[in-house]
């Protein structure tokens, strides 16, 4: 079990660059999402790990993890804490005693992650990043899920989601994002977001002007 001494933001970004470079060398379309992607866009919350989505290719998730460990020996795998799980957990070894950074790899449709066309992926500091439109709606879904979750950390996740969403909304408004133009996003994904936006506006006061500015009628 790796020590959970927190990696720095600089270290997390470096791990993301290393992982995505290896995947790109295998001609795999990928990007980061989650808290690291939010941080790269300029949100205030500190990321804890690397979340990656790999769009397509001949490898399953476990093979992708193995690929990284073979390409760079600083990546390593440990069994899941869940004794029934068949997957392993990927980490990147950092400098210092027992220091590491967790790397999660997912595919589109897991957690309803939309497939991201290569041309839509943004490059920020040498890291491929999920476009802010998809990232914002993913965070909104996470907020909605946390509202009904029975997990012990649900309230913590909900508060983090609100912080990320509010920061992303301000950034999206500043970047003149117009969601009705994001027609590449799956229709079902967009349709479900409409109800979530209304629920968010009803609960998180003062955010209606930001949603309105990016194209939602609230």
For the residues of 161-217, what is the DSSP string, one character each? Answer: HHHHHHHHHHHHHHTT--GGG-TTS-HHHHHHHHHHHHHHHHHSTT-HHHHHHTT--
Nearest-angstrom CA–CA distance, 135 and 122: 12
Q: Is 138 exposed, middle or buried (0-12, 13-18, 19+ CB in 10 A)?
A: buried
Nearest-angstrom CA–CA distance, 53 and 55: 6
State residue 150's pLDDT score.
81
Domain ranges of the chain: 9-128, 131-213
State residue 1's pLDDT score.
47
Nearest-angstrom CA–CA distance, 115 and 106: 11
The pLDDT averaged over each successive group of 10 residues in the chain (218 residues) is 76 98 97 98 95 94 97 96 87 94 94 93 98 98 92 90 97 98 95 96 97 96
Nearest-angstrom CA–CA distance, 6 and 16: 15
Topology, domain 9-128: Beta Polymerase; domain 2 (3.30.460)
């Amino acid at each position: 079990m790796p020590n959970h001494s927190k990696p720095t933001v600089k270290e997390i970004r470096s791990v993301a660059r290393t992982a995505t470079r290896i995947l790109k060398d295998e001609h795999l379309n990928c990007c980061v999402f989650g808290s690291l992607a939010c941080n790269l866009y300029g949100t205030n919350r500190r990321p804890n790990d690397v979340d990656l989505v790999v769009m397509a290719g001949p490898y399953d998730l476990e093979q992708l993890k193995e690929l990284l460990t073979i390409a760079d020996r600083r990546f390593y795998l440990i069994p899941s804490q869940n004794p029934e799980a068949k997957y392993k957990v990927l980490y990147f070894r950092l400098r210092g005693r027992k220091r590491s950074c967790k790397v999660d790899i997912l595919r589109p449709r897991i957690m309803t992650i939309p497939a991201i066309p290569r041309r839509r992926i943004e490059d920020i500091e040498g890291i491929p990043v999920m476009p802010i439109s998809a990232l914002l709606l993913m965070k909104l879904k996470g907020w909605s899920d946390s509202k009904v979750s029975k997990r012990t950390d649900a309230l913590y996740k909900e508060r983090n989601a609100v912080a990320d969403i509010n920061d992303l909304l301000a950034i999206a408004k500043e970047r003149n994002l117009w969601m009705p133009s994001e027609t590449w996003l799956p229709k079902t994904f967009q349709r479900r977001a409409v109800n979530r936006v209304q629920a968010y506006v009803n609960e998180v006061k003062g955010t209606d002007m930001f949603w309105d500015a990016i194209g939602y009628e609230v």
